[in-house]
Structure 1
Amino acid sequence: MKVTGIFLLSVLALLMLSGNTTASVERQANCDHTRLGCPRIYSPVCGTDGISYSNECLLCVENRKRQVPVLIKKSGPC
């Protein structure tokens, strides 16, 4: 009984700690729809350059101006 309790507390502690980890998976922006212009939808993304962009489309517009593309670091502002 004591071993089972310790095991369950250990599993609970590990589950709580695993929720606090953030995986840093950088991805490319979806730039298929930029030919028609960018929508005015506020859905911020954080670029690998440390700048927040209002949406993926505006990040794509900025990437067309650069030689080295900026990736999306995370959804949401930086």
Structure 2
Amino acid sequence: MKITRVFLLSVLALLSLSGNIAAYSSGRKANCDYTMDGCPKIYDPVCGTDGISYGNECTLCAENLKRQVPDLIRKSGPC
């Protein structure tokens, strides 16, 4: 009985973790080719996989470069 309970809790924990990883990683890659020239002042919001809204793809790329993280675009528009 105790082994069954431990097994079920382990499976539940694994499923929970895999769901969070999939939610974080699902998204499209931002076009970061023009970040070095500076970002345009065009408001075209995107929602990053980190749950933060950015003014446009370039600002997401600039923040990724600063934080050294590979956040993707979850969706167009604010989060």
TM-score bracket, normalised by the shorter chain, equals: 0.5 to 0.7
Q: Give the TM-score normalised by the residue count of structure 1.
A: 0.65
| Local SS of the residue matching 1:63 | helix
| Local SS of the residue matching 1:46 | strand
Richer in helix (by share): 2
Q: Which whole-Å deviations, capped at 9, do the CAs of 1:21-72 have from their partners, x for residues lacking one?
A: xxxx511110001111000000000001110000000000001022321110
Aligned-residue RMSD, C-alpha: 1.1
Matched to 1:77, the amino acid is P
Give the 5 Å matches for 1:28-43.
28-43=29-44
Counterpart residue number, 1:72: 73
Q: Answer yes or no: is 1:50 the counterpart of 2:48.
A: no
Question: 4+ residue runs of structure 1 moved beyond 2 angstroms?
Answer: none
Unaligned runs of 5+ in 2: 1-25
Unaligned runs of 5+ in 1: 1-24
**Larger CA Rg, structure 1 vs 2:** 1
Counterpart residue number, 1:61: 62
- Paired residues in the alignment total 54
Q: Give the TM-score normalised by the residue count of structure 2.
A: 0.64
- Identical-pair percentage: 74
